[in-house]
Amino acid sequence: MTSILTYSEREAIKAIDHLTNTYCNKCLLKHHINKTQGKTHAHHFCISECSVGKEIKQLGNELQ
């Protein structure tokens, strides 16, 4: 079965990859929260508090 993505879906994936690679992978705050409070809390912080995480979440919602 082949999955065909629309242009807007491909662009959303590219934007998510760009944001993750640019901001999230080297985020000191995420790393600190992950070490002190655990992975789940760090993930929750990123999605609910971080402006980049909120943007990634919004782009992800476009893919649904």
Q: Which residues contact 57 (CB under 8 A, 6 or more apart)?
A: 47
Looking at residue 3, its pLDDT comes to 76
Task: Flag whether pLDDT at 2 surpasses 90.
Answer: no
Q: Give the tens place of pLDDT for each residue, 4-56.
A: 889 999 999 999 999 999 999 999 999 999 999 999 999 999 999 999 999 99
| Domain layout of the chain by residue ranges | 29-64
6-11's contacts with Cβ under 8 Å and 24+ in sequence apart are 8/62, 9/62, 9/63
Q: Which residue has the higher pLDDT, 2 or 4?
A: 4
3-state secondary structure of 25: coil
Check residue 1 and give its pLDDT: 57
DSSP-assigned letter for residue 21? I
Tokens linked to 57: 């979440």
